[in-house]
Amino acid sequence: MTQQPDTRGTRCSVTQEHRLLFNRRMNDGRTQPVCAAYVIDGALDVTRLRAALETLVRRHDALRMYFPVGDDPLAMAVRPEHEASWPLEEVSLLDLPSGDERDHRAQTLLEAFCDQPFDLASGPLVAALLIEVSPRRRILGLTLEHLVCDGISQSLLFEELSGLMAEPGPPLPADQVRPAASYAAYSEKQRRALGPDSAPVRFWNSQFHEHGVYPPTLRPSDKLAPAPLTTGPSGHVEVELPGAFRARLKEITAATRTTPFMVYLALLTHGLRDGLLDESLGVVFMESGRRGTETRRLIGNFAFELCAWTRLEPEDGIHDVLGRVRDSVATSIGHALPLWWATRRYVSQEGARETFDPSRLDERFTTPWMYFSVSDPRANPLGLPDARVEPYPARVEIPYMRTPLLMATAVAGAESTTLSFDFAQGGYDPSALESVLASAASAAAELASSPSPSPSPSNR
């Protein structure tokens, strides 16, 4: 008789909670896959690749998770190791006559693969696609549902995958795979540790009292967004930052006591200033949340969604904005707690919100807001024996926007850094967003020409 999946009353982590309820509330069949793609030149043992992926799934319980629909909207379950899999689909394009046709077809397949939703209720929440474009050249796509993996977990997984592919001898039998630390156990411990009187909860309550319950709000004037859309195909605009800025970024961060993340965010904040209705800008960003040694190499979703409110003055130059961003981001990280979880438990005159309230979720996701991330394709290296592996060069992410989100991204490459916006077509004005990015590039050139000490920390 087949062993039944583990459906004990385990709840998802507070970090997973936001995305799970959001996906269910949208009810549009889409999920939030995290995709990575690589070009492999040389020999590839496909049998060993399959075995290595299966080993990863058996080793990490987060990769065997699924989220059954039932009375508890936050229920999570883990499949037994012997029932879990990491599906790998193989596609050959050798029947196409020209290299251009193969490349075009590969791009189409990757875009569809990265946008393919997962079945959250039954899983698996991982997938792989291997495209053969020539006898010695393949493209490997790997996706994981964001509910079970964040950016640092991706790096750890690819590091493990590289090691498994490089091991001598046959792959380890499935029954000899030693499980890693449990993300499900971490989730239970995390929920027990967060109480209503904890310092992070008190901090976010005060922030909500000052800035509003459903931060962060990007309140664009008609100049930026005449009619933001809720969902739709994604538009994209970008600008390449000056080479001098990239070359001196380490000097700039040292002189201003900042991180590259803060500098990129300050550039965008500086550029957006003239297109807002408010005098302050609230921006969502992700903090890994890996603060203890027990979570340093644990696989799962630790990415805390946090918010930094930055007050903007008309006379502020880029150095002033950078100082303000530094202080607001540092304050937010210093009280790390998932923003969504804190919002749902915000204590107002209505009392604590301990249950899922769809009307409040609608309010959160029908307000235009900005989410910002920093991406470096080199941060998730994949090493394979007897092959050269490079990140896939073309864009395959964000084909569709599910909210009126303005998605800002800084992509750090080997030779250049690109700032970009993704947004629902027909909502935000692409020419206005291009002007914002042009202003950010000018501010980057100013920082690169004469980095100076940042202003004194504010007293906010």
Tell me whether domains 6-188 and 194-378+393-449 share a fold. yes
Q: pLDDT tens digits, residue range 11-32?
A: 899 889 888 888 887 788 888 8
**Domain at 6-188: CATH code:** 3.30.559.10
pLDDT of res. 207: 76
Mean pLDDT value across residues 421-440: 93
pLDDT of res. 410: 94
Query: Which CATH number does the domain 194-378+393-449 belong to among 3.40.605.10, 3.30.559.30, 3.40.50.150, 2.40.50.140?
Result: 3.30.559.30
pLDDT of res. 345: 67
pLDDT of res. 279: 79
Confidence at 323, pLDDT banded by 50, 70, 90: very high
Mean pLDDT value across residues 191-196: 74
From 135-139, 376-380, 389-393, the region with the lowest mean pLDDT? 376-380
Is the per-residue pLDDT at 3 higher than 50?
no
Is the per-residue pLDDT at 133 higher than 90?
yes
Domain ranges of the chain: 6-188, 194-378+393-449
Q: pLDDT tens digits, residue range 140-164?
A: 999 999 999 988 899 999 999 999 9
With helix as H, strand as E and coil as C, how does the chain read? CCCCCEEEEEECCHHHHHHHHHHHHHCCCCCCEEEEEEEEEECCCHHHHHHHHHHHHHHCHHHHEECCCCCCCCEEEECCHHHCCCCEEEEECCCCCCHHHHHHHHHHHHHHHHCCCCCCCCCCCEEEEEEEEECCEEEEEEEEEHHHCCHHHHHHHHHHHHHHHHCCCCCCCHHHCCCCCCHHHHHHHHHHHCCCCCHHHHHHHHHHHHHCCCCCCCCECCCCCCCCCCCEEEEEEEEECCHHHHHCHHHHHHHHCCCHHHHHHHHHHHHHHHHECCCEEEEEEEECCCCCHHHCCCCCCCCEEEEEEEECCCCCCHHHHHHHHHHHHHHHHHCCCCHHHHHHCCCECCECCCCCCHHHHHHHHCCCEEEEEEECHHHCCCCCCCEEEEECCCCCCCCEECCCEEEEEEEECCCCEEEEEEEECCCCCHHHHHHHHHHHHHHHHHHHHCCCCCCCCCCC
Q: pLDDT tens digits, residue range 84-129?
A: 899 999 999 999 999 999 999 999 999 999 989 999 999 999 999 9
Query: Greater confidence, 398 or 442?
Result: 442
From 53-62, 67-76, 93-102, 397-406, the region with the lowest mean pLDDT? 397-406
Provide the percentage of residues in the chain whose pLDDT is more than 90.
45
Q: Is the full-model pTM beyond 0.75?
A: yes
Most confident of the following: 174-183, 273-282, 348-357, 416-425: 416-425
